[in-house]
Amino acid sequence: MNKIHFWKNKNILITGVAGFVGSNLAKNLSNLGSNVIGISQRKNKKNSLLFYENINKKIEIFYCDITDKEKINKIIKKYKIQICFHLAAQVEVGLAKKDPYGTWESNIRGTYTLLELFRKNKKQIKSIIIASSDKAYGEYGLNKMPYDEKYPLKPIFPYDTSKACADMIAKTYASKLFNLPIIITRFSNIYGPGQLNFTALIPGLIKSCIFNRRFKMRGNGESIRDYIYINDIVDIYKILAKNLYSKPKKYSGEIFNAGTNTPYKTKTILKNIFTYKKRIKELSKVNKIIKKNKTSGELQVQYMNYIKLNKNFGWKPKYEFGKVLPEVFKWYEDYFKNTSP
Ligand SMILES: NC(=O)c1ccc[n+]([C@@H]2O[C@H](COP(=O)([O-])OP(=O)(O)OC[C@H]3O[C@@H](n4cnc5c(N)ncnc54)[C@H](O)[C@@H]3O)[C@@H](O)[C@H]2O)c1
pLDDT tier, 235 (very low <50, low <70, confident <90, very high otherwise): very high
- Residue 111 in contact with ligand 1 by CB distance below 6 A: no
In the reported structure, the alpha carbon of residue 329 is separated from the centroid of ligand 1 by a whole-number distance in angstroms of 22
In the reported structure, the alpha carbon of residue 74 is separated from the centroid of ligand 1 by a whole-number distance in angstroms of 22
Q: What is the pLDDT of residues 317-337, one digit of tens each?
A: 999 999 999 999 999 999 999
Which pLDDT belongs to residue 292?
85
Which pLDDT belongs to residue 225?
93
| Distances from the Cα of 328 to the Cα of 143, 289, 319, 336, angstroms | 32, 26, 12, 13
Which pLDDT belongs to residue 4?
59
Q: What is the pLDDT of residues 123-133, one digit of tens each?
A: 999 999 999 99
**Enzyme catalytic residues:** 159
- Residue 133 in contact with ligand 1 by CB distance below 6 A: yes
Provide the angle, in degrees to the nearest 10, between the axes of the packed helices 266-276 and 280-291.
Answer: 160
In the reported structure, the alpha carbon of residue 238 is separated from the centroid of ligand 1 by a whole-number distance in angstroms of 18
- Residue 26 in contact with ligand 1 by CB distance below 6 A: no
CA–CA separation, 10 and 5 (whole Å): 10
**In this structure, which residue's CA is closest to atom 8 in ligand 1?**
133
Residue 22 CA: nearest ligand 1 atom is 16
CA–CA separation, 254 and 247 (whole Å): 12
Classify the C-alpha dihedral 12-13-18-23 as positive or negative.
Answer: negative
pLDDT tier, 45 (very low <50, low <70, confident <90, very high otherwise): confident
Strands 83-86 and 60-63, bridge-based pairing: unpaired
Nearest 5°: phi and psi at 337?
Answer: -65, -35
Residues 53-87 as b/e (b if ≥16 CB within 10 A, e otherwise) read bebbeebebbeebbbbeeebbebbeebebbbbbbb
Percent of the chain whose pLDDT exceeds 70:
98
Q: Mean pLDDT in the chain?
A: 95
- Residue 169 in contact with ligand 1 by CB distance below 6 A: no
In the reported structure, the alpha carbon of residue 10 is separated from the centroid of ligand 1 by a whole-number distance in angstroms of 23
CA–CA separation, 246 and 264 (whole Å): 37
Q: Is the pLDDT of residue 3 over 60?
A: no
Q: Is the pLDDT of residue 294 over 80?
A: no
Which pLDDT belongs to residue 13?
98
Residue type, 299: L
| Distances from the Cα of 31 to the Cα of 24, 105, 195, 333, angstroms | 11, 33, 20, 25
Which pLDDT belongs to residue 341?
60
CATH, range 3-192+229-261+302-311 = 3.40.50.720
Ligand 1 pocket mutation pick from 15, 17, 20 by most atoms within 8 angstroms of CB? 20
Which pLDDT belongs to residue 295?
66
Ligand 1 pocket mutation pick from 65, 87, 129 by most atoms within 8 angstroms of CB? 87
Q: Is the pLDDT of residue 296 over 70?
A: no
Which pLDDT belongs to residue 305?
92
- Domain coordinates in residue numbering, the chain: 3-192+229-261+302-311
Q: Is the pLDDT of residue 293 over 90?
A: no
- Residue 181 in contact with ligand 1 by CB distance below 6 A: no
Which pLDDT belongs to residue 166?
98
Residue 185 CA: nearest ligand 1 atom is 7
Better pLDDT: 221 or 42: 221
CA–CA separation, 47 and 20 (whole Å): 9
CA–CA separation, 312 and 165 (whole Å): 26
In the reported structure, the alpha carbon of residue 15 is separated from the centroid of ligand 1 by a whole-number distance in angstroms of 9
pLDDT tier, 84 (very low <50, low <70, confident <90, very high otherwise): very high
Which pLDDT belongs to residue 217?
86
Among residues 40, 12, 257, 236, the alpha carbon closest in space to that of 127 is found at 12
CA–CA separation, 266 and 202 (whole Å): 9
- Residue 19 in contact with ligand 1 by CB distance below 6 A: yes
Which pLDDT belongs to residue 291?
87
In the reported structure, the alpha carbon of residue 22 is separated from the centroid of ligand 1 by a whole-number distance in angstroms of 8
Ligand 1 pocket mutation pick from 86, 91, 264 by most atoms within 8 angstroms of CB? 91
- Residue 90 in contact with ligand 1 by CB distance below 6 A: yes
